[in-house]
Structure 1
Amino acid sequence: MSQYDEGHTVAGWTGAAVAVACSACLAVAVVGWTPGWYLGLVLLVVAAVLTWVLHLAGWGKAAGSRPRAAWGVRDTSARAGHPDCFACRLAGRRGEAAVVPKRARTVETRTG
């Protein structure tokens, strides 16, 4: 097994399944079924949009590896956006909110 888990998400598997159906329709269209071109192209757009929406809903993940126990678990940090994530940037989520700034220390002065 690879040390990376790219695509092991609900968004990844769902998008891949729709893309396989798209490929099947386009393959049948090559041998003469004309509606297959249109259906295949529509399924291609559906696969891309569905994967993107599921990623933004928390069923995708940021780039990089994560523990196997986290596979198939909803990512709660997706609402703020993943850092360096193209899909999140397209949605206007910059990922800065995912990094919690350190609290400013207050200095107490004692009198008396």
Structure 2
Amino acid sequence: MVGVSSLDPAIAERLKRDAQGLVTAVIQDAESRDVLMVGWMDDEALHRTLTTGRGTFWSRSRQTYWVKGETSGNTQAVREVRLDCDGDTLLVLVDQTGPACHTGTRTCFDADRLL
């Protein structure tokens, strides 16, 4: 695993990873501010996201990296990545091309409303 070399060392130190080395990443549309999806990043996925400007995640089910839109064409151009105050969640602001959800909807939160 590669370190997060593009991060300020103080920021990298603040990242609180779970037991698998993952941090929750909330993906938000940079213009509308709609929450599009939630993914997981380890240091390598974050490094790839920061250096390529494309949303890159760790798939917990497939145990591999994936780049949003690599097969579907529904890409995410990353504008900004922020770390929350607790250091355990990333906010990734993107320009989304096409639907963000694998079901074909704009966001993964278009389905069931609980309240």
Scaled by the length of structure 1, what TM-score is found?
0.22
Higher helix share: 1
Which has the higher Rg, Structure 1 or Structure 2? 1
Higher strand share: 2
